[in-house]
């Protein structure tokens, strides 16, 4: 009996000990340790006259039911909102400057992790059964995209770059991506391709497009040789209905062609071996690519062959076109191909029999070429790849990692998928875009932003959605014919190569504009870039100028600052004094061939620009050109008026050098 009593007594004691563990553990909880450390830290800071308050030992949290947030991160990260703790050791450091109210939106909306937890491991989410660990800092901008959907966020450069890449690489050809309107087709139509390109070029292009054109958006579809040959045969069978007569290059016309090629500033858009513009394809090896008869009809009317092209229609006479084609044929040949290779390929290409063409068509469809290209005989194809809605919060357990030994988390999976699309298993179809590591990381950020998290409407940024520009009528036709928006922008749309045209009617004088269309020249002493000579008809010039002066205006500035006779001489003289002595404009601008090289020359400014605009520009140069280098001197009204008086009275340059 005594033995049993002793046993009972001992086991009761043991039980009591077990129960005592819990309050002790509670007392020694991690967060209490951190708060005590913070209080010591705060007292020390306080002695140094830095206002840091101690905290009572208690669990702190940010609670926001609308965002479904209970974040106890601030239990240990006690200095997040104290700007005096920017250099404090973690976990007490203050949050970097942000426009968001941390006390309202909490932490996990952006950083992810487990907000409810009060332990380091638990809160940072690195637990086996917690599906949503903290985002590494390199992917953090993904969270910006949850509340700023489908727009460029200037503060989130990586996210914006990723979204831009999604748009430009044509991801929407195969994937449905929320917030990105499908741009289709991103590649050229393939009808008539057989009349355009040479077989060897096509075969090599299909094998590896980047080998011919480094910055093409076409991915490597990873074809075996036989597949590439089959597809070549199929695509070559797509002939244009009216093929021109065989073109014979005219050696005598090469010089004229070169002259016309230079005059038209083709190099502004087309590089030669990497040097030149990037709006159009590099023409360095184009001689090995296209058939000359096709090139001839292309130069005559690009839109007839490819309606979506961004190339303006130049109104060259037929003679000049033949000269330009001869010049291109002689200058831009491809040294990596020769006739022997072409014959070898011709021998190996499968014949264009019905079976082969059907097999080629099948291959074309299986590869999803229709995601980027259109071909009349093949009806629009549905998305090939999975819908990417919610990809940013996909459970790791639902990802197929194949046999790969990489970190088991969403971002490393996405990164690997983008870099090596077919590595996770067989029968995967995604082509290899050969993105750089940096691009891939940007894309991962953009994809991670497509999360399932429900954000209430009041937190979602409406963004500055640009109003789509609708230019109709004659001016709209001209705008599209000459593809003005390839280089210029209008209401925030398109090109960045040339000045914005939104308020051009208030800036430049109609007579000058008309003359400029007939003979464009470069504004700046050090630049040879200029608008190409488009060969617009008088009728077109008149329509364009009339549109500029009636529609593209800024109502807040008057055309003319001075009465009809122009500024008084006295005022202009004071302006000259200000120009040279007070503001030192000659450091960047030239007058009569004397002065700096950064800004445009100012001779004859009065014939080019309205004085009202010059005045408004001097008052705030960045108002109309946000990126302009000219400093804002905060010039007062009377000085600005005097400077304007001086500038508009400058005579035109004495002799215009012919370029």
Partner 1 sequence: MNVLELKERVVATPVWRSIFRHRYLDSNRNRALTVFSNVFLHIHPVKVPEKSLRLRHTMCLGGLSFALFLALTVTGVLLMFYYRPAIPQAYRDMKELEFVVTSGALLRNLHRWAAHAMVLFVFLHMARVFYSGAYRPPREFNWVVGVLLLILSLLLSYTGYLLPWDQLAFWAITVGTNMAEAAPLIGPKFKFLLLGGNVIGENALVRFYVLHCVVLPLAAAVLLAVHFWRVRKDGGVRPL
Site for partner 1, rule CB under 8 A: 19, 22-23, 26, 59, 70, 72, 114, 116-119, 122, 129
Instruction: Report the nearest approach of partner 1 to the CB of residue 31 (Å).
Output: 9
Strand, helix or coil for residue 350: coil
* Residue 8 vs 521, nearer CB to partner 1: 8
* Residue 25 vs 654, nearer CB to partner 1: 25
* Residue 23 vs 56, nearer CB to partner 1: 23
Residue owning tokens 């949050």: 95
* Residue 19 vs 99, nearer CB to partner 1: 19
* Residue count of the chain: 659
Measured between alpha carbons, how far is 532 from 486 in angstroms, rounded to an integer?
A: 12
Instruction: Report the nearest approach of partner 1 to the CB of residue 471 (Å).
Output: 51
Q: HSE-up of 495 (CA within 13 Å, CB side)?
A: 22
* Residue 16 vs 526, nearer CB to partner 1: 16
Return the ∠ at Cα 147 (arms to 143 and 149), rounded to 5°.
95
* Residue 117 vs 159, nearer CB to partner 1: 117
Dihedral class, residue 423 (left if φ above 0, else alpha if ψ from -120 to 50, else beta): alpha
Instruction: Report the nearest approach of partner 1 to the CB of residue 447 (Å).
Output: 24
* Residue 117 vs 140, nearer CB to partner 1: 117
Instruction: Report the nearest approach of partner 1 to the CB of residue 152 (Å).
Output: 34
Instruction: Report the nearest approach of partner 1 to the CB of residue 157 (Å).
Output: 35
Instruction: Report the nearest approach of partner 1 to the CB of residue 143 (Å).
Output: 21
CA dihedral 323, 327, 329, 335 (to 10 degrees): 180
Instruction: Report the nearest approach of partner 1 to the CB of residue 117 (Å).
Output: 5
Measured between alpha carbons, how far is 239 from 57 in angstroms, rounded to an integer?
A: 80
* Residue 19 vs 526, nearer CB to partner 1: 19
Instruction: Report the nearest approach of partner 1 to the CB of residue 55 (Å).
Output: 17
Q: Give the relative orientation of helices 157-169 and 437-448 as an angle to the nearest 10 degrees.
A: 100
Contacts of 430 (CB under 8 A, 6+ apart): 174, 385, 417, 421, 422
Instruction: Report the nearest approach of partner 1 to the CB of residue 72 (Å).
Output: 7
Tokens matching residue 51: 């206002």
Q: HSE-up of 196 (CA within 13 Å, CB side)?
A: 17
Measured between alpha carbons, how far is 516 from 409 in angstroms, rounded to an integer?
A: 58
**Whole-Å CA distances, 425 to 369, 399, 416, 420, 428:** 21, 12, 12, 11, 7
* Residue 399 vs 490, nearer CB to partner 1: 399
Measured between alpha carbons, how far is 247 from 296 in angstroms, rounded to an integer?
A: 8
* Radius of gyration in angstroms for the set of CA atoms belonging to the chain, rounded to a whole number: 34
Measured between alpha carbons, how far is 291 from 319 in angstroms, rounded to an integer?
A: 18
* Residue 129 vs 351, nearer CB to partner 1: 129
Query: Which residues are bridge partners to 595 per DSSP?
Result: 590
* Residue 29 vs 469, nearer CB to partner 1: 29
| Residues 443, 417 contacting (CB under 8 angstroms) | no
Residue owning tokens 């620009």: 609
| Residues 378, 365 contacting (CB under 8 angstroms) | yes
Instruction: Report the nearest approach of partner 1 to the CB of residue 108 (Å).
Output: 13
3-state secondary structure 68-106: CEEECHHHCCCCCCCHHHCCCCCCCCCCCCCCCCHHHHC
Measured between alpha carbons, how far is 149 from 457 in angstroms, rounded to an integer?
A: 12
Instruction: Report the nearest approach of partner 1 to the CB of residue 26 (Å).
Output: 6
Instruction: Report the nearest approach of partner 1 to the CB of residue 82 (Å).
Output: 24
* Residue 123 vs 290, nearer CB to partner 1: 123
* Residue 19 vs 472, nearer CB to partner 1: 19
Measured between alpha carbons, how far is 527 from 568 in angstroms, rounded to an integer?
A: 34
| Residues 354, 344 contacting (CB under 8 angstroms) | no
Q: Report DSSP letters for 162-222, one per residue.
A: HHHHHHHHTGGGTS--TT-------SPP-TTHHHHB-HHHHHHHHH-HHHH-TT-S--B--
* Residue 66 vs 629, nearer CB to partner 1: 66
The H-assigned helical ranges of 267-395 are 292-300, 302-305, 318-331, 339-348, 354-367
Measured between alpha carbons, how far is 611 from 560 in angstroms, rounded to an integer?
A: 5
φ, ψ for residue 64, nearest 5 deg? -140, 95
Instruction: Report the nearest approach of partner 1 to the CB of residue 68 (Å).
Output: 8
* Residue 116 vs 558, nearer CB to partner 1: 116
């Amino acid at each position: 009996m005594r033995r049993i009593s002793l046993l009972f007594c001992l086991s009761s004691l043991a039980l009591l000990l077990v129960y005592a563990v819990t309050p002790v553990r509670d007392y020694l909880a991690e967060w209490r340790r951190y708060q005590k450390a913070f209080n010591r830290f705060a007292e020390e800071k306080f002695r140094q006259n830095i206002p840091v308050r101690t905290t009572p030992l208690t669990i702190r949290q940010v609670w926001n039911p609308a965002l479904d947030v209970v974040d106890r991160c601030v239990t240990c990260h006690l200095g997040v909102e104290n700007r005096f703790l920017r250099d404090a050791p973690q976990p007490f450091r203050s949050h970097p400057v942000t426009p968001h109210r941390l006390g309202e939106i909490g932490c996990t909306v952006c950083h992810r992790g487990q907000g409810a937890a009060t332990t380091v491991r638990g809160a940072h989410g690195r637990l086996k059964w917690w599906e949503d660990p903290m985002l590494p800092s390199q992917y953090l901008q993904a969270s910006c995209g949850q509340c700023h959907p489908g727009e460029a966020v200037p503060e989130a450069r990586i996210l914006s770059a990723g979204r831009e890449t999604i748009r430009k690489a044509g991801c929407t050809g195969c994937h449905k991506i929320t917030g990105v309107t499908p741009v289709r087709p991103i590649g050229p139509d393939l009808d008539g391709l057989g009349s355009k390109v040479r077989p060897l070029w096509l075969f090599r292009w299909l094998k590896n497009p980047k080998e011919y054109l480094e910055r093409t958006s076409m991915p490597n579809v990873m074809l075996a040789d036989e597949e590439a040959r089959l597809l070549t045969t199929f695509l070559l069978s797509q002939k244009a209905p009216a093929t021109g007569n065989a073109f014979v290059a005219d050696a005598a016309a090469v010089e004229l062609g070169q002259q016309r090629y230079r005059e038209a500033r083709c190099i502004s858009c087309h590089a030669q071996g990497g040097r030149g513009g990037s709006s159009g394809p590099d023409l360095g090896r184009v001689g090995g690519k296209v058939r000359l008869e096709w090139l001839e009809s292309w130069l005559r009317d690009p839109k007839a062959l490819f309606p979506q092209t961004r190339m303006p229609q130049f109104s060259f006479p037929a003679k000049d076109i033949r000269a330009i084609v001869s010049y291109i044929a002689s200058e831009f040949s491809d040294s990596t191909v020769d006739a022997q290779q072409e014959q070898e390929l011709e021998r190996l290409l499968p014949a264009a029999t019905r079976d082969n063409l059907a097999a080629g068509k099948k291959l074309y469809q299986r590869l999803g070429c229709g995601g980027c290209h259109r071909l009349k005989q093949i009806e629009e194809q549905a998305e090939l790849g999975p819908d990417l809605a919610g990809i940013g919060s996909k459970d790791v357990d639902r990802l197929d990692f194949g046999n790969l030994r990489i970190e088991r988390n969403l971002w490393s999976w996405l990164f690997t998928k983008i870099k090596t699309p077919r590595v996770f298993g067989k029968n995967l179809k995604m082509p290899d875009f050969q993105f750089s590591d940096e691009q891939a990381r940007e894309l991962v950020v953009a994809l991670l932003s497509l999360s399932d998290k429900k954000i209430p409407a009041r937190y979602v940024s409406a963004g500055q959605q640009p109003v789509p520009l609708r230019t109709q009528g004659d001016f709209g036709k001209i705008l599209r014919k000459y593809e003005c928006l390839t280089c210029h922008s209008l209401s925030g749309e398109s090109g960045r190569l040339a000045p914005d045209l939104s308020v051009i009617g208030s800036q430049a004088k109609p007579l000058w504009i008309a003359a400029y269309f007939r003979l464009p020249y470069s504004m700046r002493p050090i630049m040879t870039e200029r608008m190409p000579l488009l060969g617009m008809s008088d009728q077109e010039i008149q329509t364009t100028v009339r549109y500029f002066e009636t529609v593209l205006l800024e109502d807040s500035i008057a055309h003319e600052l001075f009465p009809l006779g122009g500024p008084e001489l006295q005022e202009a003289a004071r302006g000259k004094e200000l120009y040279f002595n007070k503001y030192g404009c000659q450091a960047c601008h030239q007058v009569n061939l004397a002065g700096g090289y950064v800004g445009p020359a100012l001779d004859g400014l009065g014939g080019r620009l309205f004085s009202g605009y010059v005045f408004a520009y001097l008052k705030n140069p960045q108002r109309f050109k946000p990126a302009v280098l000219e400093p804002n001197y905060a010039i007062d009204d009377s000085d600005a008026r005097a400077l304007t008086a001086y500038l508009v009275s400058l005579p035109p340059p004495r002799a215009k050098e012919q370029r």
